[in-house]
Amino acid sequence: MKRRDFLRAVGAGLAGSAIAAPAIAQSTPELKWRLTASWPKSLDTLYGCCDDFAKNVADSTDNKFQIQVFAAGEIVPGLQVLDAVQKGTVELGHTAVYYYWGKDPSFAFATALPFGLNPRQQEAWQLRGGGMELLDPLFTDFGCYGLPMGNTCSQMGGWFRKEINTVADLNGLKFRIGGFAGKVVSKLGVVPQNLAPGDIYPALEKGTIDSVEWIGPYDDEKLGLYKVAKYYYYPGWWEGGAHAHLLVNRERWNGLSRTYQAVLTNAARDAGMRMTAKYDYVNPPAMRRLLANGTQLRAFSPEIMEASYKAANETYAEIGAANPRFKKIYDNFVAFRKESYSWWQVCDLTFDAFQVRMLGRS
């Protein structure tokens, strides 16, 4: 190679290197974002999921992408997370988006539809069954990008000051119940109340509400609900597997490199799995403690369950007739549920039922 050709080749190589280095740097700039949650710090599993997420992002980017987490009330109240992200007050939010079903009832599908899916099915529908693809236009309309981040598992039916045996016992009951389920129980005479987590205990203690559902033994114990209501009902048929979501301001999401988008996606996935695993770990001993403190465990009667199921289906038909997006998502959701349970009853259900029967013999 002639000397002139050699120098030209080296120069070209150096020029290529000079271009490549800034391109890498541009994909991983230093960023400082804020995340507001719907949860008080006392609910360490839900709030802790946000801390885990922020740590995952920092660890994955050598601290170039830092996220500061704020509890409910520190920037906005717990039920205003969607609005804060949509307006750009914060870049990120962690919430149960069914809180905002009044803006569009289709938000219920993202968290939990009454008599919907169990935790694994909800995950499968959203990630593999087309759920997130159907929900993405909804999130976009509200200026957000949504990422599933943690499932609270099947929930309890709540705390009541008196026993609830018949549908008639529900009439006039002021019941704190999350999200869309309030519309369903109102058909049974219940007066639904949508309160943020930090407001639940004071309302129950003062008698502003008669009963309350939150999540399950661990979180309910932390909120002290057993101190003011002794009857603990199950199952929470309105939340067979409730998903929380990470909301990202859509404009800020679109402005991220694909590298940082992947970092947020993977960090949310890992933090969410840890949250779900923690609930499965901490709920059994929490239930034992509640029972030791005098909690009376009760199952909803078949009459109440069947009336609730009927009310739920009537509600879906009414909303679907007026809301094409809701009907489109619902049709996909129901088809997935039918297919999933056709398999679930063959293996998972029979295995779990057998295991439970054997517990009494060991």
Percent of the chain with pLDDT over 70: 93
Determine what percent of the chain is predicted with pLDDT higher than 90: 89
- Give, for 68, the enclosing helix (H) or strand (E): strand 65-70
In the predicted model, is pLDDT for residue 5 greater than 80?
A: no
Q: Is 129 helix (H, G, I), strand (E, B) or coil?
A: coil
* pLDDT of 188 over the 50 cut: yes
Model confidence at 10, in pLDDT bands (50, 70, 90)? very low
DSSP state letter for 177:
-
Does the pLDDT at position 18 exceed 60? no
Q: Mean pLDDT across the stretch 199-224? A: 94
In this prediction, residues 155-165 reach a mean pLDDT of 96
User: Does residue 17 surpass a pLDDT of 60?
Assistant: no
Q: Which strands form 92-95's sheet, in the order they lie side by side?
A: 65-70, 31-37, 92-95, 243-249, 144-151
Please report which residue ranges of 118-257 form alpha helices under DSSP H.
119-127, 131-141, 181-185, 197-206, 217-223, 250-254
The pLDDT of residue 26: 66
pLDDT band at 125 (very low <50, low <70, confident <90, very high): very high
**What is the per-residue pLDDT across 302-350, written as a single tens digit (0 to 9) for each?**
999 999 999 999 999 999 999 999 999 999 999 999 999 999 999 999 9
Q: In what order do the strands lie in the sheet with 158-160?
A: 191-193, 174-176, 211-212, 158-160, 231-234, 296-299
